[in-house]
Structure 1
Amino acid sequence: MTALHGIRFAFGTLTVVPVRVTRWDRTAARAGMLSAPLAGLVVGAAAAAAGSALALLGAGAPLAAVAAVAVPAALTRGLHLDGLADTADGLGSGRPAEDALRIMRQSDIGPFGVVTLVLALLAQTAALAELFARGWAHGAAAAVLAAVAARLTLTLACRSGVPAARPEGLGAAVASVVPVAWALAAAALVTGAAAG
């Protein structure tokens, strides 16, 4: 039952998949962060399907890559992009920690965030275009692998001993919920599956 709550937690917080999150406690958060790579697998599969469909229809590698980058943004409500922009704005400000956190909480996006987003999206698109140019299967595999690996970083970041940056918000709900041994086991499982 905890696994099901964890899957709901992961999909409810990390995707637009309409699931009902019935538990919002540390146990569900632990199972959810352990399930994060599974959410990445679904997001990555959708990205791979969109990119591959365009590549197989002859749209060309650049357009296939754009689709494979756009789908995860849509399926996650841009959560990862918003976090990246906030982090860039906070770190780029050069302010002390408290001021940087205040900047990161603001709803607008600053110049560091904009530049970082543009460069990150260009890099993702260029890398996927290169792989789709080698064949749709290469691009599809890369889209899936990237999405799973990205969500695995959540599992690792939520391991015991890593505190939340602030006492409120989603970060505080999932900080330090995954035992180190479980985080390493998840990393080994994902790495083994990716290598297979």
Structure 2
Amino acid sequence: MSGTASGTSGEPSPGAAWWFAFGTFTVLPVRAKAVDREVAGRGMAAAPAVGVVLGLAAAAVLLAAGALSGSRLLAAVLAVGALAWLTRALHLDGLADLADGLGSGRPPGQALDVMKRSDIGPFGVVTLVVALLVQVAALAALPGAPAVAALVAACASGRLAVTWA
């Protein structure tokens, strides 16, 4: 056996890649029983589909909050917040680390050390505030169906970048 979750043929179970993808890209506490290069590769290929699910979940928050509050701004804030929570804010953490490293003005090796630290510096904070405000403003400017389409497209294409990489 190759160390994968498998049946009698030694092939990885079809669901292992999906478990891996959802466990990697979401806050959901799911994991593939065992992961090898094949399962991980298939999981990365499934990343855009996970993005679609995340986009639909954020869209549900957007529509429900908009209907209950009557405020597109509040709905956008809650949808962007839900998306950050559903993804463990992994993308936001990476953005803050990058901003702190680039903003440090240090040589590459030292900038990398800044990026590896668990704290967040002023460049990271400002970058996150601006990025989140842009997301909320853009989403609040769109009415229902276009906002839903934008959320799903953004989440799917963001994870497609992982697949391409």
TM-score normalised over the length of structure 2: 0.86
4+ long deviations beyond 3 Å: none
Deviations 1:34-53 (A, max 9, x none): 11111111111110000011
Letter in 2 for 1:35: A
The answer (yes or no) to whether the contact 1:9–1:29 under 8 Å persists in 2 is yes
Equivalent in the alignment of 1:145? 153
The answer (yes or no) to whether the contact 1:51–1:67 under 8 Å persists in 2 is yes
Stretch of structure 1 that moved more, 17-26 or 75-84 = 17-26
Q: Secondary structure at the match of 1:20?
A: coil
Structure 1: 5+ residue runs without aligned partners?
Answer: 158-196
Decide which of 135, 142, 145 is 1:124's aligned counterpart: 135
Equivalent in the alignment of 1:31? 42
Equivalent in the alignment of 1:62? 73
> For the residues of structure 2 that align with 1:22 and 1:97, how far apart are their CA atoms?
38
The answer (yes or no) to whether the contact 1:16–1:76 under 8 Å persists in 2 is yes
Q: Kindly, what percent of the aligned residue pairs are identical?
A: 56
> For the residues of structure 2 that align with 1:39 and 1:6, how far apart are their CA atoms?
11
Letter in 2 for 1:124: Q
Structure 2: 5+ residue runs without aligned partners?
Answer: 1-11
Equivalent in the alignment of 1:100? 111
- Report how many aligned residue pairs link the two structures: 154
Decide which of 11, 20, 28 is 1:17's aligned counterpart: 28
The 1:45/1:96 distance shift into structure 2, 3 A limit, reads same
CA RMSD in angstroms comes to 1.5
TM-score normalised over the length of structure 1: 0.73
| 1:88 aligned onto 2:96 | no
The answer (yes or no) to whether the contact 1:65–1:129 under 8 Å persists in 2 is yes
The 1:39/1:98 distance shift into structure 2, 3 A limit, reads same
Deviations 1:7-26 (A, max 9, x none): 11111111111212222332
The 1:16/1:95 distance shift into structure 2, 3 A limit, reads same
The 1:123/1:116 distance shift into structure 2, 3 A limit, reads same
Decide which of 35, 47, 51 is 2:62's aligned counterpart: 51
* Greater Rg by CA: 2
Letter in 1 for 2:80: V
> For the residues of structure 2 that align with 1:123 and 1:80, how far apart are their CA atoms?
15
Decide which of 152, 156, 162 is 2:164's aligned counterpart: 156
Letter in 2 for 1:153: A
User: What's the CA shift for 1:68?
Assistant: 1.4
User: What's the CA shift for 1:99?
Assistant: 1.5
